[in-house]
Chain A
Amino acid sequence: DIQMTQSPSSLSASVGDRVTITCRASQSISSYLNWYQQKPGKAPKLLIYAASSLQSGVPSRFSGSGSGTDFTLTISSLQPEDFATYYCQQSYSTPPTFGPGTKVDIK
């Protein structure tokens, strides 16, 4: 199975900050990488698929980049509704595996 890691595991940031979250795969996964946002008590929400494609309806302040083993999710200007946990997930092979998550909270 492909192992996914994320860093940092948590971060504190202020509204308006630029936030970057890193995801690393244990082997090359090309661009088969998705990002999800989850708020407490809610289901995950797809933000980015295929490493850099923005899901319909997701604000343009979210962007994804990377290929191979290293990926990043960037929030260009953090908004109050962005405080949540973010997960990466590889879709290169079965089983699809998720990273452990990065919790973004208010500084």
Chain B
Amino acid sequence: QVQLVESGGGLVKPGGSLRLSCAASGFTFSDYYMSWIRQAPGKGLEWVSYISSSGSTIYYADSVKGRFTISRDNAKNSLYLQMNSLRAEDTAVYYCARRDTAIQSAYYYYYYMDVWGKGTTVTVSS
């Protein structure tokens, strides 16, 4: 079945680094844009980054730009998030999600995140 499984979370000190992974299965990974979304404890959802199917197009939230790097390995059906210079405010559950597209009237492209992993917890604390 279609599945995303995140790993790599943990406890890290401020200023430290962590690399998250997301393993995809049950679909053609190389056909889809992929995103990372996070949720701080007791808070709402915050989009972090996305990467195009080929990896050629990448966007980041301003809050992580210059510190986080998204990448993917289509041969390994895997998505990554390298997180450097971590701060306390990066503490969150990190989800990877597949971005799908609905095309209406052959002109309108609607994007949505239809498959989510269970998340991996990142805690930044001294």
Contacts and interface: CB of A to CB of B under 8 A. Distances in A.
B112 A49 contact: yes
B27 interface: no
A44 B104 contact: no
Contacts of B116: 43-45
B118 A98 contact: no
A2 B53 CA distance: 25
B80 interface: no
B114 A55 contact: yes
Contacts, number: 64
A43 B44 contact: no
Interface size classification for chain B: 20 to 34
A53 B102 contact: yes
A95 B102 contact: no
Contacts of B46: 98
B44 A50 contact: no
A52 B116 CA distance: 21
B45 A44 contact: yes
A95 B95 contact: no
Interface of B: 35, 37, 44-47, 50, 59, 61-62, 95, 102, 104, 108, 110-114, 116-119
